């Protein structure tokens, strides 16, 4: 049973990975709360269908469609420019899009795709929209991470898995990246009126493993019917996006709508700054 979502009329929110699973339920919850909601998807037909589904579920809902392949830095920059052009304000950014892949693949930018999609995309889209969010303050950045970050290590000698790739290893490394990024970002946002928090949504019956086959994909298909539903998975994202209780809370990691400790590595200040600097270089930005 999910908690009621506070009403947030006049707020504008953007949700990535909103065409299914937790992302869809997050967008649905925000629309029910009265917000104007931008949904980001990769496929035009599927994203338009999602917008129609949201409008049918919530009478009078204001839903905007944005298209982007978030594994591409050029696409993210184009998306951010479109958001800035369409919205006079942005109150909430929910970085939700992500996936796990059972084979190693490089993006158009020459980066391992799990790291590019699940970590760098969060960082680049946030930084591209940060001035708009500061001008809209109070505003909130919500980063959907995972308890998998506790298994994560940042392998600076083989970040892209060229020597040894594993689906869970790459995913855990990227989710650790979310936690490290959130903490480093929160420090830089002090005094701006913008907060940043990360979260574990739970182990949810979503489509996040859709990019896998082999033993992992088979195993996921077996356990999926026994997992929590996406609406429960969206509860913590919605809490961080809307609750007055966390309006000024920043730099924390949440599970089941409560702050909980990250791994000790996730709390490593030096590592946070090292990954921040590395990520900026990979994004072609100044350190």
H or E stretch covering 239: helix 235-242
Helices (H) and strands (E) counted in the chain, each on its own, are 10, 8
Helix axes 44-57, 21-32, angle to 10 degrees: 40
Nearest to 131 by CA among 80, 186, 172: 80
Residue 149 DSSP code: G
Exactly one of 24, 87, 122, 171 is catalytic; name it. Answer: 171
Active site annotation includes 171: yes
Residue 68 DSSP code: -
- Measured between alpha carbons, how far is 247 from 137 in angstroms, rounded to an integer? 11
SS (H, E, C) 24-65: HHHHHHHHHCCCEEEEEECCHHHHHHHHHHHHHHCCCCEEEE
Q: Left if phi > 0, otherwise alpha if psi is -120 to 50, otherwise beta: which for 68?
A: beta
Q: What sign has the CA pseudo-torsion 217, 218, 223, 225?
A: positive
Q: Which residues are catalytic?
A: 171
């Amino acid at each position: 049973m999910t908690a009621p979502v506070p009403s947030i009329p006049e707020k504008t929110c953007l949700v990535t990975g909103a065409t299914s699973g937790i992302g869809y339920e997050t967008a649905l919850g925000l629309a029910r709360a009265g917000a104007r909601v931008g949904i980001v998807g990769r496929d035009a037909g599927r994203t338009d269908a999602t917008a129609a589904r949201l409008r049918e579920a919530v009478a009078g809902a204001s839903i905007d469609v944005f298209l982007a392949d978030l594994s591409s830095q050029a696409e993210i920059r184009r998306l951010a420019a479109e958001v800035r052009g369409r919205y006079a304000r942005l109150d909430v950014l929910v970085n939700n899009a992500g996936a796990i892949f059972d084979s190693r693949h490089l993006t158009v930018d020459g980066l391992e795709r799990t790291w590019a999609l699940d970590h760098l995309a969060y960082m680049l889209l946030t930084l591209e929209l940060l001035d708009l969010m500061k001008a809209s303050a109070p505003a909130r950045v919500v980063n959907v991470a995972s308890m998998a970050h506790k298994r994560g290590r940042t392998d600076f000698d083989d970040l892209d898995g060229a020597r040894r790739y594993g689906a869970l290893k790459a995913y855990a490394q990227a989710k650790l990246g979310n936690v490290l990024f959130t903490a480093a970002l929160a420090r830089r946002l002090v005094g701006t009126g913008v907060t940043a928090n990360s979260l574990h949504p739970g182990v949810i019956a979503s489509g996040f493993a859709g990019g896998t086959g082999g033993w992992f994909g088979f195993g996921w298909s077996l356990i999926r019917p026994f997992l929590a539903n996406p609406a429960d998975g969206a509860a913590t994202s919605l809490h961080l996006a809307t609750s007055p209780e966390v309006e000024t809370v920043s730099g924390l990691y949440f599970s089941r709508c409560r702050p909980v400790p990250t791994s000790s590595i996730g709390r490593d200040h030096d590592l946070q700054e090292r990954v921040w600097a590395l990520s900026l270089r990979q994004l072609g930005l100044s350190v």
